[in-house]
Amino acid sequence: EVQLVESGGGLVKPGGSLKLSCAASGFTFSSYAMSWVRQSPEKRLEWVAEISSGGSYTYYPDTVTGRFTISRDNAKNTLYLEMSSLRSEDTAMYYCARGGVTTFAYWGQGTLVTVSA
Amino acid sequence: DIVMTQSPSSLSVSAGEKVTMSCKSSQSLLNSGNQKNYLAWYQQKPGQPPKLLIYGASTRESGVPDRFTGSGSGTDFTLTISSVQAEDLAVYYCQNDHSYPFTFGSGTKLEIK
């Protein structure tokens, strides 16, 4: 069974940094592209990063380019999202998602990030 | 960026009724090379993450009941629930899986009377 467990969320001040992790199990982690998707308090979904299976290629929307960095450790079956220069609009539930028949075939339960003074 | 527009934003139906919801994309999601539409539907129940329902515009994910049907091509897509059940209470999102940046619609909230 595919399992994705996010951690690392919390309360951070504007301009601060945070690093999220996603522990994967139940599949061959190194064979799949992985993504982060966030959901705002208003329930809007926004894709924020994708990384290729080997980690060589990364993709971001303009809203986070230069502030967020996605990475992975295939030996540890773990996906990461480093976030810096955080803004109030980055407040959201952050989900990691595995690729497959679609870019977001499986989702974790999420970790909450709150950016507030 | 491809804008995904869903309608209606909410609907309330009785169990057993048929439901149809729409998703329109600002650009075609059809890959001319393989003639596949890169459109996905997700179901999000209260307190849960989104769950993949339909991919390729019309292919049901494994385990999804056959009362859920996706249709459409190009820029116009539809999700139909043939006979709504109480457990279908959720928000339904469509998603551009065709090109970066991947984008989602704002959702259709399904309520059961």
Query: B68 and chain A: CB distance < 8 Å anywhere?
Result: no
Per-residue pLDDT at B110: 98
Sequential DSSP letters for chain A: --EEEEE--EEE-TT--EEEEEEEESS-GGGS-EEEEEE-TT--EEEEEEE-TTSS-EE--TTTTTTEEEEEETTTTEEEEEE-S--GGG-EEEEEEE-SSSTTSEE---EEEEE--
Band (pLDDT 50/70/90 cuts) for residue B75 is very high
Q: B33 Cβ partners below 8 Å, 6+ apart?
A: none
Q: What is the mean pLDDT of chain B?
A: 97
Longest dimension (CA), chain B: 44
Average pLDDT per consecutive 10 residues, chain A (117 residues; last block may be shorter) = 98 98 98 98 98 97 98 98 98 96 94 98
Q: B65 Cβ partners below 8 Å, 6+ apart?
A: none
CA distances from B26 to A6, A17, B6, B99 (A): 33, 35, 11, 12
- Residue whose tokens read 């810096």: A84
Our CA-based measurement puts residue A13 at a distance from the nearest CA of chain B, in whole angstroms, of 26
Per-residue pLDDT at A115: 98
Q: Give B-chain residues touching A2 at CB under 8 angstroms.
A: none
Band (pLDDT 50/70/90 cuts) for residue B103 is very high
Q: A71 Cβ partners below 8 Å, 6+ apart?
A: A51, A55, A58, A79, A80, A82
Interatomic CA distance for residues B15 and A29, integer angstroms: 40
Closest CA to A98 of A53, A62, A55: A53
**Interface touch A102/B103, C-beta < 8 Å:** no
* Burial grade of B20 (CB within 10 A; 0-12, 13-18, 19 or more): middle
Closest CA to A64 of A91, A27, A90: A90
Query: A43 and chain B: CB distance < 8 Å anywhere?
Result: yes
Longest dimension (CA), chain A: 41
- To test the contact with chain A by mutation, choose from B102, B106, B110 the residue with the greatest count of A C-beta atoms within 10 A, namely B102
Interatomic CA distance for residues A94 and B70, integer angstroms: 27
Q: Give A-chain residues touching B48 at CB under 8 angstroms.
A: 109
**Interface touch B51/A108, C-beta < 8 Å:** no
∠ CA A99-A102-A107, nearest 5°, is 55
Per-residue pLDDT at A23: 98
The 10s digit of each residue's pLDDT in B11-55 is 999 999 999 999 999 999 999 999 999 999 999 999 999 999 999
Band (pLDDT 50/70/90 cuts) for residue B91 is very high
